[in-house]
């Protein structure tokens, strides 16, 4: 193939690619303008919220749905140091069970490890929280519940005191140190911010209903607001990538 023709074909392909992406640039501003003003709350309680989305394109409404499910950072136990475990549950099973306990989250005071100034694998007080559990010795068979997990920060703790961790027979004991950090459900399901996140149609073509049920780590309205911010940030990042391609 002639070299000049080959260059022309590549240039045409690049132009066509960029023309397809023009709507994304428009929607960067679109989201900032209408995202919050176009959300009408239908119903809300401590665990679930339903909001009406007006005039938002399907692909962006669905992006918000997916981000609300697994794109908003929440706390979860990620590292477990087992000092003693004489229960019937192996160390791996105990660590896995602890990791799946929903943890209350404060996004205003803590950073994701990748965004923390410490940039340390071990983390710091701004990106991790320690929780400890010492069941002590017992003369009876009993269940160890999450109310025995003690956190160094009162705002970062299990969402419920009644979640079973392990059952101990007389003479058995567990003693552990856990470290919780912020993460996203795209990395592991234990960091999912919501149990469910659904998008349903209504009798109006440009109106859809987004329903989000929280795991308890965040309030449902916090998930929606953080989800809108996250989608907007991702679109901005995509726009920057396109600008670099154009350059």
Residues 71-116 have pLDDT tens digits of 999 999 999 999 999 999 999 999 999 999 999 999 999 999 999 9
CA nearest neighbour of 159 among 107, 212, 213, 103: 103
**Rounded CA separation 223/68 (Å):** 6
Residues for the chain: how many in total? 247
pLDDT at 221: 95
| Orientation of helix 3-20 relative to helix 220-246, angle to 10° | 160
pLDDT at 11: 46
Tokens of 132: 């400890």
Residue 19 has pLDDT above 60, yes or no: no
pLDDT at 26: 38
Residue 247 has pLDDT above 90, yes or no: no
Spatial neighbors of 193 by CB under 8 A, at least 6 apart, are: 68, 69, 70, 71, 72, 73, 74, 185, 214, 215, 217, 218, 223, 226
Q: Is 171 exposed, middle or buried (0-12, 13-18, 19+ CB in 10 A)?
A: exposed
What's the pLDDT band for 10 if we cut at 50, 70, 90? very low
Task: Give rounded-to-5 percent helix, strand, coil for the chain.
Answer: 35, 30, 35
pLDDT at 159: 97
| Orientation of helix 3-20 relative to helix 22-34, angle to 10° | 20
Residue 5 has pLDDT above 80, yes or no: no
What's the pLDDT band for 241 if we cut at 50, 70, 90? confident
pLDDT at 56: 86
The residue written with tokens 């349903």 in the block is 200
What's the pLDDT band for 122 if we cut at 50, 70, 90? confident
Q: Could you tell me the sign of the dihedral formed by the alpha carbons of 147, 155, 231, 56, in that order?
A: positive
Strands (E), 111-245: 128-134, 142-145, 150-151, 164-168, 174-183, 194-201, 207-214
Q: Reduced to 3 states, what is the DSSP secondary structure of residue 61? A: helix
pLDDT at 236: 84
* Largest pairwise CA distance in the chain: 87
What's the pLDDT band for 206 if we cut at 50, 70, 90? confident
Please state, rounded to an integer, the average pLDDT across all residues of the chain. 86
Span 150-185, pLDDT tens digits: 999 999 999 999 999 999 999 999 999 999 999 999
């Amino acid at each position: 193939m002639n070299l000049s023709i080959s260059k022309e074909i590549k240039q045409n392909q690049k132009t066509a690619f960029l023309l397809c992406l023009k709507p994304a640039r428009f929607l960067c501003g679109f989201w900032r303008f209408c995202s919050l003003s176009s959300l009408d709350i239908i119903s809300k309680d401590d665990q679930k919220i339903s909001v009406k989305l007006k005039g938002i394109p399907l692909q962006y409404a669905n992006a918000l749905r997916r981000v609300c499910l697994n794109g908003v950072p929440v706390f979860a136990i990620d590292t477990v140091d087992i000092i003693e475990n004489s229960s019937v549950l192996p160390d791996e099973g105990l660590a896995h069970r602890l990791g799946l306990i929903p943890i209350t989250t404060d996004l205003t005071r803590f950073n994701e490890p990748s965004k923390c100034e410490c940039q340390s694998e071990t983390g710091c007080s701004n990106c991790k929280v320690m929780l400890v559990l010492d069941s002590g010795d017992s003369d009876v068979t009993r269940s160890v519940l999450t109310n025995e997990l003690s956190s160094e920060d009162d705002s970062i703790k299990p969402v419920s005191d009644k979640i079973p961790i392990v059952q101990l027979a007389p003479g058995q004991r567990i003693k552990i140190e856990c470290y919780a950090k912020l993460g996203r459900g795209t990395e592991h399901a234990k960091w999912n911010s919501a149990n469910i996140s659904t998008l349903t149609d209504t009798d109006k073509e440009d109106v859809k209903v987004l329903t989000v049920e929280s795991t308890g780590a965040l309030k449902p309205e916090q998930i929606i607001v953080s989800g809108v911010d996250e989608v907007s940030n991702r679109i901005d990042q995509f726009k920057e990538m396109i600008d670099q391609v154009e350059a």
